[in-house]
Amino acid sequence: MNFSEFKKLLGAEPRSTDPDFLRALDSEPSYRAAAREAVKFERKLEAAFSIDVPKELLERIARIPDPSEPEALSSSRGAWRWLAAAAVVVAGIGFASISWYESTFEWESVNEYLADHWEVDGTEFLERADGQPVDEAEAAELFASYGVEISPALAGRIDVLSACKTPGGRGAHMVIITDQGPVTLIFMPELETLDGHILAFDHLVAATLQLEQGSAVIVGSNEEIITPVYALARAGIRPVSRTS
Amino acid sequence: MSTESGKQERFDRLAGQYATDLYRYAMWICGNDALAKDLVQETFLRAWKALDKLKDSGAVKSWLITILRREYARTFERKVPKFSDIDQVVVEEEQEPSPDDRTEVRLLRRGIASLAPKYREPLLMQVVMGYSCQEIADELGISKSAVMTQLFRAREQLKEKLQRDGVTGKVHELF
């Protein structure tokens, strides 16, 4: 193996155990020097790729239950996490009826809740929007009743605000003012869901958002319009204990 | 031991062994912390459901990576909003021994993030998951020689970036 071939193999597989490679390695000092430098580079590369795994993720994985066990359903939040996963599977192909589990909730998936809720309140609330923000103190009071605090940046953009039924209890239905038009934000204090998933329905797009406490879904006419609200809600709804 | 508790123990072992590598893998292919966590969680959810069907324990790593890559492909098709977190995540890590090394590692991270996916992913499989060139070829459905070329070019580009950004060393004289 000539030096050029050796270097190519070294660049592709520095820890190769190929017999020809190993023979070449011992044949010349220049080959050994090249291999030493390659190993040094590999150590840096390994350090560069190395990222600490978030503790929160390990906890999420540790909570993965067996859906066939009845106790897995005793925690409504846990059950909904699974249901949210089911919702992800059908995302993009419209609504479908998902009946994986006997749930304590009225709806069996995020999709189903959203479809149901939208039919009743979605369009009507949008029509109520007049471009004038609600009283921030009123918004703060409602959110405080759910154990969370809302940032002034988000509160100042709420055009319509109403308490509403959400999976596991009550939450808040909002119409948010954006430069591109109104966007609906539904805060669900009792629901844990998967983050950042798109649910396409009825010519609208919805994105799920997992918050530090509870979750939300953002609904708009397209992804561009909902993305800023996703970021705003993510930063703007925090547990009270964290911010006070 | 009941079948269910046996399954739970098997799953726990599997999660303990691969969660970190899968998160790193996910993070480096999508560059988004929230999405990476969801991908890993979804991978393990699917793994849990299909665990009984997995007979060859030697194939676990490849099985998990395949699930994760498919899930990522699905996510990508749905055009999930992208928020690039890779800088944020890696800047927080300060485990390298010296300031010079830290600088190099930081530059390398930027370099890895800027590699084209066709170069980054084989490198990720090799360095993070410990795949051989043949295993990478099997996973990506390309030839072993193509994988070797991509790995060589990936390293070349990273070394060039280090050199271009002012970090010098003997390593660059040899390539």
**d(C-alpha B148, C-alpha B126), whole Å:** 11
ipTM of the complex: 0.80
Give the CATH number, domain containing residue B138: 1.10.10.10
Which of A49, A85, A230 lies closest to B124 in CB terms? A49
Q: Are residues B149 and B108 in the same domain?
A: yes
Entry field: residues in chain A: 244
Interface subset of A 143-172, CB within 8 angstroms of B: none
Burial of B6 (0-12, 13-18, 19+ CB in 10 A): exposed
pLDDT at A74 (0 to 100) = 28
Whether residue B175 is contained in a domain is answered as no
Chain B residues lying within 8 Å of A43, measured CB to CB: none
Please say if the pLDDT value at position B127 is more than 70.
yes
Q: Is residue B118 part of a domain?
A: yes
> Is the CB of A53 less than 8 angstroms away from the CB of B20?
yes
Cα–Cα distance, A225 to A181 (Å, whole number): 8
Task: Report CB contact under 8 Å: A227, B171.
Answer: no
HSE on the CB side for A27, CA within 13 Å? 12
**pLDDT reported for residue A235:** 87
Rg, Å, chain B Cα set? 18
Q: For residue A15, what pLDDT is reported?
A: 83
Q: What is the pLDDT of residues A192-237, one digit of tens each?
A: 776 777 777 667 888 888 888 888 999 998 888 888 898 889 889 9
The number of domains in chain B is 2
pLDDT confidence of residue A103: 38
Query: What is the H or E stretch that residue A234 is in?
Result: helix A223-236
Residue B47 domain-assigned (yes or no): yes
In a domain, B174, yes or no: no
Q: For residues B47 and A95, give the distance between their C-alpha atoms in angstroms, rounded to a whole number.
A: 25
Q: Would you say residue B23 lies in a domain?
A: yes
Name residue A169's beta-bridge partners: A166
Measure B66 CA to nearest chain A CA, in Å.
17
Which residues of chain B neighbour A60 with C-beta distances below 8 Å?
A: 37, 41
Q: What percent of chain B has pLDDT over 70?
A: 76
Closest Cα in chain A to B24: A51
pLDDT tens column, A151-179 = 988 999 999 999 888 887 889 999 998 88
Instruction: Find the CATH number of the domain harbouring B58.
Output: 1.10.1740.10
The verdict on A61 touching B (C-beta cutoff 8 Å) is: yes
Between A48-57, A102-111, B6-15, B117-126, the lowest mean confidence (pLDDT) is in: A102-111
* B54 shares a domain with B10: yes
B111 in the same domain as B59: no
Q: Is residue B86 part of a domain?
A: no
Domain-located, residue B37: yes
**Residue burial A179-194, b: 16+ Cβ < 10 Å; e: rest:** eeebbbbbbbbbbbbb
B53-57, B73-77, B95-99: lowest mean pLDDT where?
Answer: B95-99
Residue in B41, B78, B109 nearest the CB of A61:
B41
Instruction: Let me know whether B103 and B72 are in one domain.
Output: no
Only one residue has tokens 């890696």, namely B90
Per-residue model confidence (pLDDT) at position A157? 92
Q: What is the pTM of this model?
A: 0.53
Label residue A181 left, alpha or beta by phi (over 0 means left) and psi (-120 to 50 means alpha): left
Examine the pLDDT at B7 and tell me if it is beyond 50.
yes
Inter-CA distances, A13 with A44, B109, B126, B153, B169, Å:
15, 20, 8, 12, 21
Residues B61 and B122 in one domain: no
| B34·A195 Cβ contact <8 A | yes
Band the pLDDT of B164: cuts 50, 70, 90: confident
Whose tokens are 């897995």? That residue is A72
pLDDT at res. A92: 31
Residue of A40, A49, A60, A192 to mutate, interface with B, max B Cβ within 10 Å: A49
* The pLDDT of residue A150: 92
Yes or no, beta carbons of B37 and A57 under 8 Å apart:
yes
Does B91 fall in a domain? no
Residues 55-74 of B with CB under 8 A from A: none
Domain span holding position B103: 98-168
pLDDT of residue A101: 28
Identify the domain boundary among B21, B47, B77.
B77
Q: Residue A225, CB half-sphere, CA atoms under 13 Å: how many?
A: 19
Instruction: State residue B86's pLDDT score.
Output: 52
Separation CA A166–CA A118 (nearest Å):
12
Q: pLDDT tens-digit profile of B30-56? A: 887 878 888 898 899 888 888 887 777
B173 has a pLDDT exceeding 60: no
Rounded mean pLDDT, A115-119: 81
pLDDT tens digits along A21-75: 888 888 888 888 888 889 889 988 988 888 888 888 888 888 776 444 333 222 3
Say if residue B73 is in the same domain as residue B102: no
Of residues A128 and B148, more confidently modeled:
B148
B152 pLDDT band, cuts 50/70/90, is very high
**Chain B positions in Cβ-Cβ contact with residue A38 (cut-off 8 Å):** 171, 174
Query: Are residues B72 and B119 located together in one domain of the fold?
Result: no
Distance CA B130, CA B114 (A): 22
- Banded pLDDT at A184 (limits 50, 70, 90): very high
